[in-house]
C-alpha cells in the first residue's frame, strides 16, 4: 500500500453520505467508507467525520487523541465564560469603550476567541483560511444557529465567517472596523487532554504555516482601525519584534495592544 493521504472525509451514517461526498469534492480529498473508525483507517492520516449536524476531525491510528469539533454550546465554552477568561480579552479589544464594537478575528481557528468576543457584545468577522478548519467553523456556526437555544442563537447572530485569508479581505469589509484581533499561536502547552488533542490537530494541519503571524500583523497595522490586538504566550517576545502600546497580562497568555487611534 502507498503512503496515506493527508485527509479523507467519512460519513458516520448513510444519512450524511451526500454531505460527505460534497465536502470531499470541495476539499479535493478522498471519501472513506461510511462509518469507518479513525483508529482502524490506514488510507489517510486524518478523517473529517460528518454526522447530521457536526464535523469532527480526528487523527487516524491507535492511541491518537479523540475528535475535535466546533461546539459553541459545549460546557467548555460556558466554563470559559464563568471562569472569567473573557475579561482580559474584552479589556484588550476595548469592550465597553464603544457600543457594538466591530472586530475582525483575522485568525479564527476553532472560533473560541470570536465567540467570547460575540458574547461580550462585539460584532465579529471570523477569517479562517484553512479550508478544513473553515468548514468545521461553518458547521459549528450552523449548528449554533439551529440549536433552538436563544442564548447561543443571539451570540452567533453577531458572527460572520469569511473563508479565506484575512490579508485578502476586500476593502469594503474593512470599513467601520474598530479592532483587528490576531492569535497566531498554537494552544499553550498543558497537560489538559482537550488542549493536547487540539494542539496535535492544529500542528498536523498547519505544520507549514508557522511564522505567518508576522505577515498578518504587518497587514493589520496598515488598516484604518483603532487597535490591533495580538494574543501571545505569557513570556514570548512581541510578534515580529513590533513593540505594542501596552499589554494585558494573564497567567498563561498576554494580549499585546497596538493602539492606532481612539476607539469610538
Ligand atoms: C492558533 S489558531 C487560532 C485559534 C483561535 N483563536 C481560537 O480561539 O480557536 C490560528 C488560526 O489562524 C488561521 N490563520 C492564520 N493566519 C491567517 C490569515 N492571515 N487569514 C486567515 N486565517 C489565518 C490558521 O489557519 C489557524 O486556523
Q: How far apart are CA 43 and CA 37, in angstroms?
A: 12
Say if strands 102-105 and 54-59 run parallel, antiparallel, or are unpaired: unpaired
Q: Compute the average pLDDT of residues 89-116.
A: 95
Q: How far is residue 104 CA from its own chain's centroid?
A: 12
Q: pLDDT (tens digit, 9 = 90+) per residue, 40-66?
A: 999 999 999 999 878 999 999 998 888
- Indicate whether 204 and 99 sit together in one domain: yes
- Indicate whether 174 and 158 sit together in one domain: yes
DSSP 198-220: HHHHHHHHTTT-TTTHHHHHHHH
CB atoms within 10 A of CB 101: 24
Assign residue 85 the CATH number of its domain.
3.40.50.150
Point out the annotated binding site: 112-113, 128-129, 183
- Indicate whether 91 and 148 sit together in one domain: yes
Q: Is 111 in the pocket of ligand 1 (CB under 6 A)?
A: yes
- Indicate whether 54 and 90 sit together in one domain: no
- Indicate whether 237 and 109 sit together in one domain: yes
DSSP 56: E
Q: Is residue 3 assigned to a domain?
A: no
Terminal alpha carbon distance of the chain = 61
Residue 248 cell numbers, joined: 494585558
Q: Is residue 264 assigned to a domain?
A: no
Reported as a pLDDT band with limits 50, 70 and 90, residue 247 is very high
Which one of 105, 107, 162, 199 would you pick to mutate in the ligand 1 pocket, going by the greatest count of ligand atoms within 8 A of its CB?
107
Q: Compute the average pLDDT of residues 1-28.
A: 93
- Indicate whether 23 and 138 sit together in one domain: no
Q: How far apart are CA 181 and CA 93, in angstroms?
A: 8
Range of the domain at 153: 75-259
Q: Is residue 1 assigned to a domain?
A: no
Please tell me the total count of domains within the chain.
2
CB atoms within 10 A of CB 56: 20
Q: Is residue 249 assigned to a domain?
A: yes
- Indicate whether 58 and 152 sit together in one domain: no
Q: How far is residue 64 CA from its own chain's centroid?
A: 22
- Indicate whether 224 and 255 sit together in one domain: yes
Nearest atom in ligand 1 to the alpha carbon of residue 107 is 12
- Indicate whether 23 and 144 sit together in one domain: no
- Indicate whether 49 and 100 sit together in one domain: no
- Indicate whether 97 and 141 sit together in one domain: yes
Atom 4 of ligand 1, residue of closest alpha carbon: 109
Q: pLDDT (tens digit, 9 = 90+) per residue, 181-204?
A: 999 976 555 566 666 667 677 777
77 compared with 139, residue with greater pLDDT: 139
Average pLDDT, the chain: 90
pLDDT on residue 82: 61
Amino acid at each position: 500500500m502507498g503512503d496515506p493521504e493527508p485527509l479523507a472525509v467519512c460519513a458516520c451514517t448513510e444519512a450524511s453520505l451526500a454531505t460527505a461526498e460534497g465536502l470531499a469534492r470541495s476539499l479535493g480529498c478522498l471519501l472513506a467508507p461510511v462509518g469507518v473508525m479513525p483508529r482502524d483507517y490506514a488510507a489517510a492520516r486524518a478523517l473529517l467525520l460528518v454526522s447530521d449536524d457536526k464535523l469532527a476531525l480526528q487523527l487516524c491510528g491507535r492511541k491518537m487523541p479523540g475528535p475535535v469539533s466546533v461546539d459553541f454550546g459545549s460546557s467548555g465554552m460556558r466554563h470559559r465564560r464563568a471562569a472569567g477568561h473573557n475579561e482580559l480579552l474584552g479589556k484588550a479589544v476595548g469592550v465597553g469603550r464603544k457600543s457594538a464594537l466591530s472586530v475582525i478575528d483575522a485568525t479564527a481557528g476553532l472560533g473560541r476567541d470570536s465567540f467570547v468576543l460575540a458574547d461580550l457584545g462585539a460584532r465579529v468577522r471570523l477569517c479562517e483560511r484553512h479550508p478544513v478548519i473553515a468548514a468545521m467553523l461553518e458547521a459549528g456556526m450552523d449548528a449554533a444557529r439551529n440549536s433552538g437555544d436563544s442564548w447561543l442563537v443571539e451570540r452567533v447572530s453577531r458572527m460572520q465567517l469569511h473563508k479565506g485569508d484575512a490579508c485578502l479581505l476586500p476593502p469594503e469589509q474593512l470599513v467601520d472596523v474598530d479592532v483587528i484581533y490576531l492569535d497566531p499561536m498554537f494552544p499553550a502547552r498543558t497537560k489538559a487532554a482537550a488542549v493536547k488533542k487540539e494542539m496535535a490537530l492544529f500542528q498536523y494541519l498547519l505544520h507549514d504555516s508557522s511564522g505567518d503571524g508576522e505577515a498578518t500583523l504587518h497587514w493589520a497595522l496598515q488598516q484604518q482601525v483603532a487597535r490591533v490586538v495580538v494574543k501571545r504566550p505569557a513570556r514570548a517576545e512581541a510578534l515580529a519584534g513590533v513593540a505594542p502600546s501596552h499589554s494585558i497580562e494573564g497567567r498563561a497568555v498576554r494580549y499585546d495592544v497596538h493602539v492606532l487611534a481612539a476607539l469610538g
